Structure 1
Amino acid sequence: GRVEGALTALDAQLVRRAEATLELANSGVLDPASALLLAGAASESLEAADERHTGREAIESDLTHALELALSPDALAHIAQEGEIGEAALARVAAASQRVQLARRFHNDAVTDVQRVRRKRVVRWFRLAGHAELPQTIEFADELPLLERSG
Structure 2
Amino acid sequence: MRSALPLAVLLVLALLAWYLSFSASRLDRLHHRIEGARSALDAQLVRRAEAAVELAASGALDPASGLLVADAATLALEAGEQAEVVDLTDLGDGRRARSESALSQALQAALDDETVGELRHDPLHAALLDRLVSSSHRVRLARRFLNVAVTDARQVRRKRVVRWARLAGRALEPRTFEMDDDGPAALDRPAG
Q: For this structure pair, what is the TM-score category when the shorter chain's length is used for normalisation?
A: over 0.9
CA distance in 1, matches of 2:186, 2:156: 38
CA distance in 2, matches of 1:128, 1:31: 55
Gaps of 5+ in 1: none
Q: Residues 54-109 of structure 1: CA distance to partner in whole angstroms, max 9, x if unpaired?
A: 4111100000000000001111122123x111100000000000000000000000
* Equivalent residue, structure 1, for 2:59: 28
Query: How far apart are residue 149 of structure 1 and its match?
Result: 2.1
Give the counterpart letter for 2:105 in structure 1. H
Higher gyration radius (CA): 2
CA contact under 8 A between 1:13 and 1:100: conserved in structure 2? yes
* Equivalent residue, structure 1, for 2:147: 108
CA distance in 1, matches of 2:179, 2:72: 14
CA distance in 1, matches of 2:190, 2:71: 24
Matches within 5 A, 1:42-61: 42-52=73-83, 54-61=94-101
- Once the two structures are overlaid, the 10-residue window that deviates more, 51-60 or 62-71, is 51-60
CA contact under 8 A between 1:45 and 1:60: conserved in structure 2? yes
Query: How far apart are residue 150 of structure 1 and its match?
Result: 3.5
Is 2:55 the partner of 1:15?
Answer: no
Is 2:110 the partner of 1:70?
Answer: yes
Structure 2 length normalisation: TM-score? Answer: 0.76
Give the counterpart letter for 1:56 in structure 2. R
Q: Residues 30-56 of structure 1: CA distance to partner in whole angstroms, max 9, x if unpaired?
A: 111111011000100111111115411
CA distance in 1, matches of 2:97, 2:82: 14
Question: What is the identity percentage for the equivalent residue pairs of Structure 1 and Structure 2?
Answer: 52
- The alignment partner of 2:189 has SS state of helix
